[in-house]
Copies of this chain bind each other. A is one copy, B any other.
Amino acid sequence: MSNYKIDSDRMARTGVPEIIFGETKSIDQLVMILKEMIRKKVPAIASRVSPEKAERLKDFFPKSEYFKTAKIFMAQKIKFSKTKKVAVVAAGTSDVDIAEEARVLLEVLGCGTESFYDVGVAGIQRLFKVLPKIRKAKVVVVVAGMEGALPSVLAGLVKAPIIAVPTAVGYGTGLGGFSSLLTMLNTCAPGVTVVNIDNGVGAAISAYKILNV
């Protein structure tokens, strides 16, 4: 696509770099776009890059780094100044991929993170064990599929703003994540905002912006 227009001053305007969505782009498109980004001296990062694609991209970008569970590919390391801490919380084992997408992107952007996985509401004592640590975070990203109840419970327990990420984990009436999304939107505990289903990148960018307020 010679038509692709790099939005090279996005960082100046919005404070965050553009993250290329790798899932629907070919190797050729990704190479061209990432190279153009390096040439324009903007951070060259792609999300939803499969291990197979990453393997092939590495040949073009010797200084690249790839995060497998998070599916994030950095064509070149960039220095971001270190900022305050984000807690990344996941309800179930199956929510970890999206949680890692958010967590790794935050680390890449220079934000310290701590992760708390497998603390869903079905065994709420697991949450209470790690609660003192979560309470120390400046922002809390909560990732949950199934019934998505974890952000509601946490919002009643912590002072930090909560960014809830519904995931498509579930079956039957899970509706590809819509059940979890609806739960989060209808939370009776204020202080929760929501991003799109499986949108770990969006949660990370919003958390990053909040830390820079």
Of residues 110 to 149 in A, which have CB atoms within 8 Å of B's CB atoms?
Answer: 115, 117-126, 138-139, 146-149
Write out, one digit per residue, whether chain A residues 171-197 have a CB within 8 A of any chain B CB (1) or not (0).
111111111111111111111111111
Asked if residues B187 and A147 are in contact (CB atoms below 8 Å), the reply is yes
Asked if residues A199 and B213 are in contact (CB atoms below 8 Å), the reply is no
Q: A159-B15, A185-B196 are in contact. Are A1 and B190 (CB under 8 A)?
A: no
Q: How far is B195's CA from A186's CA once the two chains are assembled, in angstroms?
A: 9
Q: How far is B93's CA from A91's CA once the two chains are assembled, in angstroms?
A: 28
Asked if residues A210 and B210 are in contact (CB atoms below 8 Å), the reply is yes
Residue A170 is within 8 A (CB to CB) of chain B in the complex: yes
Asked if residues A94 and B24 are in contact (CB atoms below 8 Å), the reply is yes
Asked if residues A195 and B189 are in contact (CB atoms below 8 Å), the reply is no
Copies held by the complex: 8
CB distance from A175 to the nearest CB of B (A): 7
Q: A24-B94, A157-B124, A161-B213 are in contact. Are A185 and B194 (CB under 8 A)?
A: yes
Asked if residues B24 and A160 are in contact (CB atoms below 8 Å), the reply is no
Asked if residues A14 and B159 are in contact (CB atoms below 8 Å), the reply is yes
Asked if residues B158 and A14 are in contact (CB atoms below 8 Å), the reply is yes
Of residues 1 to 36 in A, which have CB atoms within 8 Å of B's CB atoms?
Answer: 1, 3-5, 7, 9-10, 13-16, 19, 23-25, 29
What 5 pairs across the A-B complex have the smallest Cβ distances? A172-B197, A149-B149, A193-B193, A15-B159, A122-B189
**21 A–B contact pairs at CB < 8 A?**
A1-B93, A3-B93, A3-B118, A13-B158, A16-B191, A24-B94, A138-B213, A147-B182, A147-B187, A161-B206, A163-B193, A172-B177, A173-B181, A173-B186, A179-B185, A180-B186, A182-B183, A192-B195, A192-B206, A193-B193, A210-B213
Q: Interface residues, chain A, CB within 8 Å of chain B?
A: 1, 3-5, 7, 9-10, 13-16, 19, 23-25, 29, 84, 91-94, 96, 115, 117-126, 138-139, 146-149, 152-153, 155-161, 163, 166, 168-199, 201-203, 205-206, 209-213
4 further contact pairs, Cβ within 8 A, besides A5-B126, A147-B188, A213-B213: A4-B118, A13-B157, A148-B183, A172-B185
